[in-house]
Amino acid sequence: MPIWMRLDAEGISIVDVRDERAAVYMAHAYSELSGKPGVALVTAGPGVTNAMTGIANAHIARAPVVVISGIAPVPQLHRGALQDIAHTKLVEPITRFARTVFEPDQVPPALDQAFAFAYGDAGGEPGPVFLDFPTDVLRARVSHAVQLLEHLMPKARTEIAVDAETLGRAVKLIQAAKRPLVIGGRGARLAGPELVEFLNTTEVLYLDTGECKGVVPDGHPALVSAMRSAAMGEADLIITIGRKLDFQLGYGSPAVFGHARWIRIADTATELRDNRRGDVEIFATPRVALKALSVACSTHLPACDASWRERLQRGHADRVERLKSGMAKASPGKDGRMHPNRLLHEVQRAIGNDAVIVADGGDFLSFARVGMSCRTYLDPGSFGCIGVGTPFGIGASLALPEQTVAVLTGDGAFGFNAMEIDTAVRHHVPVLIIVANNGAWQIEVHDQSMTHGRVVGTQLRRSDYAGMARSLGAFGERVEDPAQLAGSLQRALAAMRSGQPALLDVQVSEEPMSSDARTGLAWVPDLQALAAWNAAERQWRNKE
């Protein structure tokens, strides 16, 4: 309460939420999209434990979030006071920095240090940090002598340049490559213009990921995401831009990427050296590195295999065209209800290609990830933390108030933080929430060999989420018929222009399955890839 009251007195905006987990989600999205600090202030004890899911998600996503809490007064610690628990021991494994500040004069340097760790300016990867303060410390005064500008003023972000020798080796690899491929990650988000310039200069092909979808426009000729498997398996040079080689990329296994050589570009070691070392590793700010590569490659372009490039471009264009055409004409399921792709088609028509899209859920997220075009994209990420949709949407709308923000969520995922609609209403946050309501959880059941699976469903109620939204003060409509959808979307967008959040509860069929569901859980092929990689490593060791 002392922090809350002082923030209010200073005129600092506070968005009070219904659950601490959602507070961290909102700070996460706000930080990622605004470039400004996202701060979550949570109460002690259960407030911190509630927040831990959000902190863990930010930890995996490498999102700079500052989490602040309080604890009991120092004389009452470890004596059974209310909410007397060591927060820092709980959050240390999932934060970059965790500290209890016991001395008032240590507050300015502790805050300064926390923000530096959050942004990765302390030498590590960015991510969440945690500070808490005993209540008696919060009520004490900080000595004027230690209120130094060096701790209080904003800090310029440090950019890391590329050394000439490393740059030269990278250029030689690019120039020698016949089938070069760039894979974007977190590092591409702040390097959009430089990445596009590099792709234009070199004519290298490009794959986006959930960490950077929208950075390169969908119509760019280098983008071949619909040919992802062929591109990764056939490339002879892989260039990663601030992207970890996690399960989504088969851990970089030769079973996925063959005998490709690697250039890895990142400003943190964890995005540079995980799982596969690069033939060239460029430790630099990604946008600075890409600019330097564009200049260096401009006079000696790579000898790309034109037929390979054109084949993947044609394949990508054909698949995208078939997908878009199929979405518009997607037939209802046997239950007569709307296909999720028909829903997404109508949403795309209504909001255009420049909106911020937050995708959430299980199977519906897979439909949205493939089917939607956008300028900015957020989803639960590799932590698989469904339920982020509504809080992410609120944070995104606060960060980018001039842009349309659309949350595309399944009904199961929506339920985790549905009450945050109340937060959006109270703070006049104009976010659009589309609930694909199929009344079902879908899960994959695998046999013991984990080589194949079958999809089974668990029934949920087709609850009236539009009625819930209206009861909380938001605009809400339930849509049963595809013919009603365009009108409902226009009314929802009109409500948003007046500062009102809007929710459409769209009844979709539970019958259609995304490509992810049809092929089973994503980690099954990754386990096979990992096994193949381990076998290759054993062969290499035996040769040595």
Question: d(Cα 184, Cα 249) in Å, to the nearest integer?
Answer: 11
Residue 516: predicted pLDDT: 65
Classify residue 251 as exposed, middle or buried by CB count within 10 Å of its CB (0-12, 13-18, 19+): buried
The residues that bridge with 457 in the sheet, in sequence order, are 442
Beta strands 237-241; 261-266: pairing state: parallel
**Nearest alpha-carbon partner for 82 in 68, 69, 67, 71:** 71
DSSP for residue 146? G
Determine whether domain 2-152 maps to CATH 3.40.190.10.
no
**Nearest alpha-carbon partner for 269 in 281, 259, 280, 255:** 281
Looking at 10, 444, 510, 537, which residue is catalytic? 444
Question: d(Cα 293, Cα 494) in Å, to the nearest integer?
Answer: 46
Question: d(Cα 251, Cα 465) in Å, to the nearest integer?
Answer: 39
Answer yes or no: 444 catalytic.
yes
Residue with the two structure tokens 């104009």: 430
- Going by C-beta distance under 8 Å and a sequence separation of 6 or more, which residues neighbour residue 29? 38, 358, 378, 388, 391, 392, 393, 394, 395, 396, 399
Strand order in the sheet with 97-100: 38-41, 65-71, 129-134, 97-100
Per-residue pLDDT of the chain (544 residues; tens, 9 = 90+): 888 889 999 999 899 999 999 999 999 999 999 988 899 999 999 999 999 999 999 999 999 999 999 998 888 888 888 888 899 999 999 999 999 999 999 999 999 999 999 998 877 899 999 999 999 999 999 999 999 999 988 888 888 999 999 999 999 999 999 999 999 999 999 899 999 999 999 989 999 999 999 999 999 999 999 999 999 999 999 999 999 999 889 999 999 999 999 999 999 999 999 999 999 999 999 999 999 999 999 887 778 899 999 999 999 999 999 999 999 999 998 888 999 999 999 999 999 999 999 999 988 998 999 899 998 999 999 898 999 999 999 999 999 999 999 999 999 999 999 999 999 999 999 999 999 999 887 655 544 444 455 556 667 788 999 999 999 999 999 999 999 999 999 999 999 999 999 999 999 998 887 766 655 444 334 445 455 556 655 665 555 5
- Going by C-beta distance under 8 Å and a sequence separation of 6 or more, which residues neighbour residue 282? 162, 166, 167, 170, 263, 264, 265, 266, 289
Give the domain ranges of the chain.
Answer: 2-152, 164-315, 332-524
Question: d(Cα 514, Cα 372) in Å, to the nearest integer?
Answer: 14
DSSP for residue 508? B
Sequence length of the chain is 544
CB-CB contact of 502 with 496 (8 Å): yes
Helix (H) or strand (E) holding 302: none
- Going by C-beta distance under 8 Å and a sequence separation of 6 or more, which residues neighbour residue 254? 532, 533, 536
Q: Which two tokens stand for residue 423?
A: 């937060």
Classify residue 455 as exposed, middle or buried by CB count within 10 Å of its CB (0-12, 13-18, 19+): middle
Using the CB atoms, write b or e for 355-389: b if 16+ within 10 Å: bbbbbbbbbbbbbbbbbbbbbbbbbbbbeebbbbb
Same CATH topology for 164-315 and 332-524?
yes
Question: d(Cα 524, Cα 526) in Å, to the nearest integer?
Answer: 5
For domain 164-315, the CATH architecture is 3-Layer(aba) Sandwich (3.40)
Determine whether domain 332-524 maps to CATH 1.10.3720.10.
no
Question: Would residue 127 be called left, alpha or beta, if left means φ above 0 and alpha means ψ between -120 and 50 degrees?
Answer: left
**Nearest alpha-carbon partner for 197 in 215, 210, 185, 180:** 215
